[in-house]
Amino acid sequence: MIKKEAAHIRKQFKMDHDLLNLYDILNVYIMKETNEIYHCERQPFAMLDREKQELYMGNFRKLLTGELDQKLFELKFLEEAEEPSQVMLHQGLVTGDPEEWQDLMLMLVDKMLVDTKYEKDTVITFVRGQYSRPTKGRNDEAEETGKDEVFAHPFILCSVNSTEQQRKTLLFDYVEREFKYNVMVDPIIKLSTPEQGFFYPSVTDNYSDVNRVLYCTGSANNPNPHFIEQVLNAERSVTAYEERTIFEDIVKEVVGEQLDITTLAQVYEEIHQVMETNEDEEEPPKLDYKDVERVLMASGVEHVTTEQVERAFETIIDNKNYELKASSVMPKFTSKSIKIDTKVATISISPQDLKYVRQVNYQGKRCIMIEIDEDVVIEGFTLSTETL
């Protein structure tokens, strides 16, 4: 799966979308005290009130929102698993019987309850449906449009949401003209902040891939290993944060702990060029030890050898043939994704502007110098420029 495919799936979940059909929705309420199913309810999605449909659509979009390898993880199912979830999901995908689909989803819920203690009452929502994707783009000059021929993608989506108690409030009654103390005991289902879930099957080159599942987490770079391995029976994926740490450790192993700002800025520039050059490729660009060697040499690091980088890969990850995703090893290039923390201030800057930053020694003190081309205004006052 690539970024465009994930974005396309997310965009399908909106009201009155003519390429999306949602068939059934199943809600399962889990009590935190007993860690058991308290209630379950299945309905045709079309039979819900429109207001409820809008809330669920927002929940589905929120679940599928995020960067790949940070909040969205395409996972491969484990081949040797007892009672594999892949089989349950595939049966649920192809069955036309809503009762059978419900039974299969409840079997997945049972797996979610094993060795898990929910801190709050939790609602697990399943929805099954189908979205269609045009086989070609629109052509306004032609008689036919891209919607005349489409590929159908049946899917199952699962969202796990916690609940919270409503706050005590003071209300004003317009009829009685008095203030009233209001206590609501019904819990609120936090549909706007799903904790985790999945979308099955995943998509590869615009085709459904029944051997993979898209796992979604509400907390960036913090997937739930128990849910991935024990519930989905899938292989855990390396997060973008972990890959960035691996890359940093490899570079430190090669060049040492210290790196001047010009070299670091050029490293990010070189990786960005790799990503731009391969932007339209089916597979996201990756960096092996030869690519890392080339990036370091192009960035001005002297005396770098293939053997050094290869040995660094073996030292850090015990695999000289490991490939790092280029998108994971650097912060977002054009946004202020780099934080420079000091006791005096925290500065946010983008990798593309890192070349304008210097750490200098001024009158025996270390200082950060930032090149700018406009006046600095603080609290409405324009600072005067000093000549050093």
pLDDT at 140 over 50: no
| Residue 343 within any structural domain of the chain | yes
User: Residue 136's pLDDT is what?
Assistant: 55
89-93, 135-139, 236-240: segment of lowest average pLDDT: 135-139
- For residues 199 and 343, state if they share a domain: no
- For residues 49 and 151, state if they share a domain: yes
| Residue 201 within any structural domain of the chain | yes
| Residue 374 within any structural domain of the chain | yes
Strand partners for 217: 196
| Residue 174 within any structural domain of the chain | no
pLDDT at 129 over 50: yes
- For residues 305 and 365, state if they share a domain: no
- For residues 249 and 212, state if they share a domain: no
Is residue 310 within 8 Å of residue 317, measured between CB atoms?
no
Domain count for the chain: 3
CA proximity to 63, closest of 12, 10, 108, 132: 10
- For residues 274 and 360, state if they share a domain: no
| Residue 175 within any structural domain of the chain | no
- For residues 76 and 158, state if they share a domain: yes
- For residues 233 and 152, state if they share a domain: yes
Across the range 207-232, mean pLDDT stands at 94
| Residue 172 within any structural domain of the chain | no
- Tell me how far apart the alpha carbons of residues 59 and 161 are, in angstroms, rounded to a whole number: 9
- Tell me how far apart the alpha carbons of residues 382 and 376 are, in angstroms, rounded to a whole number: 6
- For residues 103 and 194, state if they share a domain: yes
- For residues 294 and 350, state if they share a domain: no
Average pLDDT over the chain, rounded to an integer: 90
Residues above pLDDT 90, as percent of the chain: 67
User: Residue 169's pLDDT is what?
Assistant: 83
The model's confidence at residue 80, banded by pLDDT at 50, 70 and 90, is confident
Range of the domain at 218: 3-162+188-237
The model's confidence at residue 85, banded by pLDDT at 50, 70 and 90, is very high
User: Residue 225's pLDDT is what?
Assistant: 95
Structure tokens at 53: 């449909």
The model's confidence at residue 139, banded by pLDDT at 50, 70 and 90, is very low
The model's confidence at residue 60, banded by pLDDT at 50, 70 and 90, is very high
User: Residue 2's pLDDT is what?
Assistant: 77
With tokens 């050094």, the residue in question is 308
Considering only residues 1 and 387, tell me which one the structure prediction assigns the higher pLDDT: 387
- For residues 232 and 319, state if they share a domain: no
User: Residue 142's pLDDT is what?
Assistant: 43
- For residues 196 and 68, state if they share a domain: yes
User: What's the pTM value of the predicted model, to 2 decimals?
Assistant: 0.86
Across the range 348-369, mean pLDDT stands at 91
User: Residue 331's pLDDT is what?
Assistant: 85
pLDDT at 146 over 50: no
Strands annotated E in the chain? 20-31, 36-44, 72-76, 122-134, 150-164, 169-173, 178-182, 188-189, 196-200, 202-204, 207-209, 212-217, 286-287, 324-325, 338-341, 346-349, 357-362, 365-370, 377-378, 381-382
Torsion of CA 249, 250, 251, 256, to 10 degrees: 70
User: Residue 221's pLDDT is what?
Assistant: 93
Across the range 85-107, mean pLDDT stands at 96
User: Residue 138's pLDDT is what?
Assistant: 47
Among the three residues 237, 255, 274, which one is the final residue of a domain in this structure? 237
The 8-class DSSP code of residue 170 comes to E
- For residues 303 and 358, state if they share a domain: no
